[in-house]
Structure 1
Amino acid sequence: MASAKKQPLLIGWREWVRLPDLTDLPIKAKIDTGARTSAIHAWKIQRFSEAGAPWVRFELHPVQKDNRTRIACVMPIFDEREVRSSNGETAVRLVVKTKLKMDGRIWPIELTLARRDQMGFRMLIGRTALKRRVLIDPAASFLTGREPGPV
C-alpha cells in the first residue's frame, strides 16, 4: 500500500520560523521566491579550521529591532557562494546547513550568513528551501500562527 503524500504547507509572505540547531528563539522571516538561497542576519563571522575542516563562528541577532539578544553559534562551513543582493551587489557568502522548523514541520536548508542590518527581516527564506514543501499565499501573513509556538 502506497503512503499518502504529505500536503504542502500553506504559508504567507512572512512567517514565524525556528532554527532548532541554532536557537530556540522564534525568528520572523520573509518568504522570498526571488532569492535562491535563504539568508540569516549574522555578526562577527569568523572562519577557522577544526581537524582540517572549515568551520565558522558567528553571532545571530534573531529578534527584529533588537541587537542585544545575541546567540553564539559554531558550525561547519558547507559551501561558499557568490550571491547577488537585492540592491544588485555581488558578494561571496559562507553557507551552512541547518534545519528549519515551520508549523511543526522540520526540514534541512542551506543558509547564507550575511549582515542584514538595513533589511526589514532578520531572515529570508529562499525558493530552494521552499521547493515541494510549501504553497505561498502572497496576500497573507502568519498563516502558520501569529504567535511563535514552542520548539
Structure 2
Amino acid sequence: MKKDKPERKLIGRREMVDFPELELFEIEAKVDTGAFTSSLHCDHIREVDLPNGQRAVHFELVHESNPAYNHKVFEFTDFDLRTVKSSFGDVQERYVIRTKVIIHGQEIETEFSLSDRSDLKYPVLLGRTLLRKRFIVDVAKKNLSLKAKNSPKKRSNSPKNSPL
C-alpha cells in the first residue's frame, strides 16, 4: 500500500517567516535551495561558561531595516560548532542552534547557523534541509505565504470578522 505524501506548499524565492522562540515576526527570508543549512544573521557570537558549569553560545540579532530584530541577546546551551562552506567557497567554523520557524503556517524545528550576513540583503536564509519534503519553490514568485495569510478567504474566517 502506498503511503500518502504530505502536501507540499508552494513558496517563492523570498518569504516572510516568524521565529516564536526568538520573539521575531514577519522577517523576510531568502529561499536558497543551494544552501544546505539555514542561516540567521547575528552579531557578537561567542561561547561562554555559565555558573553551573555548562557552555552556551550567546549572540545578538541585528538588522537595520527591522527594529524588532535589533540587539536582542540570546543564549542557547544546546548548540554545535560546525565547519560550513559559504557560497563564496570560504570555509568557516559556525555555531549552529535549533529553533522553531513558522513558514506558510507550518511550525518547523530546524537548525540555523549563526553568521554575519550584514553584507547580504536578507537576514535569514532558508536552506534545503528545511525545505526538503515540505515546500516547492517557484523562483518567479515571492511572499506566497504572506499573500495566503492575508487573502480574503483566510480573513473571513478570523474571529474579528465573524458575526456576533
TM-score > 0.5, shorter chain as reference: yes
Give the structure-1-normalised TM-score: 0.86
Which SS does the other structure have where 2:75 is aligned?
strand
Q: Report whether the alignment pairs 1:145 with 2:146.
A: yes
* Alignment partner, residue 88 of structure 2: 87
CA deviation vs aligned residue, 1:16-40 (integer Å, no higher than 9, x gap): 0011111233211000111100111
- 8 Å CA contact 2:83–2:91 kept in 1: the answer is yes
Distance 1:37 1:61 in 2: 20
Question: Gaps spanning 5+ residues in structure 1: where?
Answer: none
Distance 2:107 2:142 in 1: 20
From the superposition, tell whether residues 106 and 68 of structure 1 become closer, same or farther in structure 2 (CA, over 3 Å).
closer
Give the structure-2-normalised TM-score: 0.79
Q: Aligned-pair distance for 1:83?
A: 0.9
* Alignment partner, residue 30 of structure 2: 30
Structure showing greater Rg: 2
From the superposition, tell whether residues 144 and 68 of structure 1 become closer, same or farther in structure 2 (CA, over 3 Å).
closer
Q: Aligned-pair distance for 1:141?
A: 0.4
Q: As a proportion of its length, which structure holds more helix?
A: 2
User: Residues 1-151 of structure 1 correspond to what in structure 2 (within 5 A)?
Assistant: 5-50=5-50, 51-62=52-63, 64=65, 69-146=70-147
Distance 2:148 2:49 in 1: 39
Distance 1:28 1:72 in 2: 20
From the superposition, tell whether residues 117 and 57 of structure 1 become closer, same or farther in structure 2 (CA, over 3 Å).
same
From the superposition, tell whether residues 103 and 74 of structure 1 become closer, same or farther in structure 2 (CA, over 3 Å).
same
Q: Cα RMSD over matched residues? A: 2.5
- 8 Å CA contact 1:61–1:70 kept in 2: the answer is yes
Q: Aligned-pair distance for 1:144?
A: 0.6
Distance 1:104 1:56 in 2: 29
Q: Aligned-pair distance for 1:105?
A: 1.1
Question: Partner amino acid for 2:49?
Answer: S
Distance 1:11 1:68 in 2: 23
Identity %: 33
Q: Aligned-pair distance for 1:103?
A: 2.1
Question: Partner amino acid for 2:127?
Answer: G
Distance 2:141 2:75 in 1: 35
When the two structures are aligned, how many residues end up with a matched partner?
Answer: 148
- 8 Å CA contact 1:32–1:125 kept in 2: the answer is yes
